[in-house]
Amino acid sequence: MTDDLFSEAVRRLDRAAEYARIDSEALLRLSSPRAVLEVSIPVRMDDGSLQVFRGYRVRHDDTRGPTKGGIRFHPDVNLSEVKALAFWMTCKCAVAGIPFGGAKGGVVVDPKSLSRLELERLSRGYVQAIADFIGPETDVPAPDVYTNAMIMGWMMDEYSVIRRRRMPDVITGKPIPLGGSLGRDDATGRGAYNCIRELQRIRGWNPTDLRVAVQGFGNAGQHVARLLAEDGCRIVAISDSRGGILRENGIDIPCAIRHKNSGQSVYSEQSVCGCPVCGEADCHCDEGPLSGSTLISNEELLELDVDLLIPAAMENQITSENAPRIRAPVIVEVANGPITPDADDILSSRGTLIVPDILANAGGVTVSYFEWVQNRTGDYWSTDTVRSRLQEIMSREFHAVYDRMTEQSIDMRTAAYAHAVSRLGEAIACQGTSHYFSASPVHS
């Protein structure tokens, strides 16, 4: 992770502005976050010692509504990363057309090294430190890397204690009994799947002919792999932080998911690398999901000769160094920022179609918006309603971006950013720019 991640992210604006109607003042406002908070979080450990963790929360832009964005617990969290993620979230909400701005948060910690009680103390301590920075009408957090529904439940409860009243609308991605939304668990993966289905219709793909590789087998990666496998796609490779597996005949995704999630800890200790011959009665593989498979690295997975590559792990996985070796003709970014700008240029020059993160993984924030609406109205929706409304939004915005790409002869990422900044520019212009304030006065 470079210290210039935020600067690299903002570079996307300059190119997008060439293809969008946006005032230069609007670009200036979007080039810097609205507010940045750094906090120290003291936590009493189980052995009686005290540790102090560093945390961040960044609100990038709130022109179109309260800011929205996840909280990640990871040892590599840094301020530049959090600022970049907040910027991407601003663009993502604008692409999806939902009335939120972008925010992000994080704590520098290896959460797998904490006990459950230590994890709860850290989660509540983080909310105590940022309580005056967030709120249902100000900034609404959600889960991200190594945070989950239970952690969101702790955070919502702590905020409610501080405010002396129950406030489920302060955080999304909560457990269902605590005000979470049905359909939120698979929303990010399902949103990406909706994009792939639309691309499939445009290009006339037969799902059974598609060979797919998924880097990152967490929540989003698991669900997009599952949905594609149910359509008949052959998922030939999957990976997690420890490495991956390749099976040309296709991996039994339900079995792999069961194995990956079979650990008893808060964070799965299982790896797809150790996926055994399961012997489950409902396993559709004759000899288990790993029969005839090969262990591969995450780097090797990215370079496989497949029809569809889905990076669903972390940022900066495809760089200028390995981009020339990427063979997949289509990449769908389920992770945030998995391709660096330099790598983007290399891939685009070779004709690789990249469905960008601010479109492909917008399903998560869209259903988070649904959850926020349900919390505020008290009207809770069925799973079918959530999925139907998600599909409607993802389909509409996918075609808006794809049509802009085709009409303006630009790559899909630039088209998505142009789509986003057009909406952002319109909202900012409604408050007045130099063109408005320097105009001649209107006389009656």
Transcribe 47-84 into DSSP letters.
Answer: TS-EEEEEEEEEEEE-TTSSEEEEEEEETT--HHHHHH
Residue 213 belongs to what H/E stretch?
Answer: strand 211-215
Dump pLDDT digits (tens) for 223-259.
Answer: 999 999 999 999 999 998 888 999 999 999 998 998 8
In the CATH hierarchy, which fold is given to the domain comprising 187-360?
Answer: Rossmann fold (3.40.50)
In this prediction, residues 50-59 reach a mean pLDDT of: 98
Residue 405, both tokens: 């790409």
CATH of domain 35-178: 3.40.50.10860
For residue 115, give every residue at least 6 positions away whose Cβ sits within 8 Å of its Cβ, in sequence order, or none.
46
SS3 444: coil
Catalytically active residues are: 104
pLDDT, averaged across the chain: 90
pLDDT of residue 263: 62
Question: Poorest-confidence range of 3-7, 55-59, 348-352?
Answer: 3-7
Dump pLDDT digits (tens) for 272-298.
Answer: 666 654 444 444 444 444 556 789 999
Tell me the torsion sign for CA atoms 145, 151, 153, 155: negative
CA distances to 302, 342, 347, 360 from 324, in Å: 11, 11, 7, 23
14 phi/psi in degrees, rounded to 5 = -60, -45
pLDDT of residue 292: 67
Can you list the alpha helix ranges (DSSP code H) found in 131-234?
149-163, 187-203, 219-230
| Direct distance between the N- and C-terminal alpha carbons of the chain, in angstroms, rounded to an integer | 58
Can you give the residue ranges of every domain in the chain? 35-178, 187-360
- 286 or 92: which carries more pLDDT confidence? 92
Q: Which of 80, 110, 66 shows the shortest CA–CA distance to 10?
A: 80
Parallel, antiparallel, or unpaired: how do β-strands 234-240 and 243-246 relate? antiparallel
In this prediction, residues 139-162 reach a mean pLDDT of: 96
pLDDT of residue 276: 52
Residue 80, both tokens: 């530049």
In this prediction, residues 291-316 reach a mean pLDDT of: 90
Same fold, 35-178 and 187-360: yes
Dump pLDDT digits (tens) for 380-430.
Answer: 999 999 999 999 999 999 999 999 999 999 999 999 999 999 999 888 888
pLDDT of residue 205: 93
